[in-house]
């Protein structure tokens, strides 16, 4: 059966950007070519445990076993009923259909979607005619900063190019943001490790940081010393409120 052409009544998917915590989660990748190598490398960097199903595995993925053997498990076989059962049992947090043949990917996508499991498929054609229910954008990570760009699954290399332009425009400023966020993280860790009522205090500090127009203004102006002072002031107000009584 030929693919249904796009019309004004048949729109491409509109994906919602979201962050996922994958540490310790099982992820299934069906296929073991170049795209599988890229996604496997990213996934293990974020703490996922990757199961790879493929009849042929490129050498670079095999080499990952030497340094990340506990996070990668390779099964040299075709996708079949055993994997479908595991998907149905919700054993995998994510599924990637990364075969070279679209017909093989379709089987994987159908199995995941039928069981309400998140599945991604590579390529512009695939996302237009057999859309997955999630995509991985082009992204860069430095410290606590993740910058990502997506064109809703279309022309991924162009998204990478666009992201590169953004990164180049920031230049060394990127590092200043990273250092500031590392400073904030360390301050929050200090609260967490030293206070008995840490959950309540952490929430209050976090809420105040989120709501601080002064903090956003200082960071927007790239005045990070002022931003650090504002962070310290907020922490002091929360931890020692008797020292900051608002005049009546």
**From 35-39, 95-99, 177-181, the region with the lowest mean pLDDT:** 177-181
Residue 76 is part of which domain span?
Answer: 26-136
Residues 35 and 131 in one domain: yes
Residues 117 and 38 in one domain: yes
Q: Both tokens of residue 200? A: 């309540």
Q: Both tokens of residue 79? A: 């996708």
Mean pLDDT of the chain: 84
How many domains does the chain fold into? 2
241: pLDDT strictly greater than 70: no
Residues 96 and 184 in one domain: no
List, for residues 218-237, the tens digit of each pLDDT value.
998 989 999 999 999 999 88
> Looking at residue 85, what is its pLDDT?
97
The residue that leads in pLDDT, 183 or 10, is 183
Residue 190 within a domain: yes
- Three state DSSP letters for the chain: CCCCCCCCCCCCCCCCCCCCCCCCCEEEEECCCHHHHHHHHHHHHCCCEEEEECCCCCHHHHHHHHHHCCCEEEECCCCCHHHHHHHHCCCCCEEEECCCCHHHHHHHHHHHHHCCCEEEECCHHHHHHCCCCCCCCEEEEECCEEEEECCCCCCHHHHHHHHHHHHHHHCCHHHHHHHHHHHHHHHHHHHHHHCCCHHHHHHHHHHHHHHCHHHHHHHHCCCHHHHHHHHHHHHHHHHCHHHCCCCC
List, for residues 37-82, the tens digit of each pLDDT value.
999 999 999 999 999 999 999 999 999 988 898 999 999 999 999 9
The residue that leads in pLDDT, 168 or 116, is 116
Q: How far is CA 50 from the centre of its chain?
A: 15
Residues 188 and 131 in one domain: no
pTM of this structure: 0.74
Residues 52 and 125 in one domain: yes
Q: Is 10 exposed, middle or buried (0-12, 13-18, 19+ CB in 10 A)?
A: exposed
């Amino acid at each position: 059966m030929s693919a249904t052409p796009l019309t004004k009544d048949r729109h491409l998917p509109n994906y919602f950007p979201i962050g996922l915590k994958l540490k310790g989660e099982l992820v299934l990748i069906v296929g073991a070519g170049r795209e599988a190598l890229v996604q496997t490398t990213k996934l293990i960097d974020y703490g996922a445990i990757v199961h790879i199903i493929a009849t042929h595995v490129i050498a670079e993925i095999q080499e990952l076993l030497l340094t990340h053997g506990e996070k990668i498990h390779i099964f040299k076989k075709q996708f079949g009923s055993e994997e479908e059962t595991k998907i149905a049992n919700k054993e995998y947090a994510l599924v990637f259909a990364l075969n070279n043949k679209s017909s093989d990917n379709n089987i994987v996508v159908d199995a995941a979607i039928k069981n309400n499991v998140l599945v991604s498929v590579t390529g512009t054609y695939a996302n237009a005619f057999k859309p997955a229910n999630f995509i991985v954008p082009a992204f860069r990570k430095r410290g606590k900063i993740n910058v990502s760009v997506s064109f809703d699954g279309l022309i991924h290399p162009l998204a990478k190019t666009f992201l590169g332009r953004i990164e180049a425009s920031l230049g060394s400023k990127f590092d200043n943001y990273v250092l500031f966020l590392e400073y904030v993280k360390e301050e929050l860790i200090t609260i967490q490790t030293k206070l008995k009522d840490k959950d309540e205090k952490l929430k209050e500090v976090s809420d105040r940081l989120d709501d601080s127009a002064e903090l956003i203004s200082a960071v927007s102006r790239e005045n990070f010393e002022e931003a650090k002072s504002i962070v310290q002031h907020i922490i002091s107000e929360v931890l020692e409120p008797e020292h900051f009584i608002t005049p009546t």
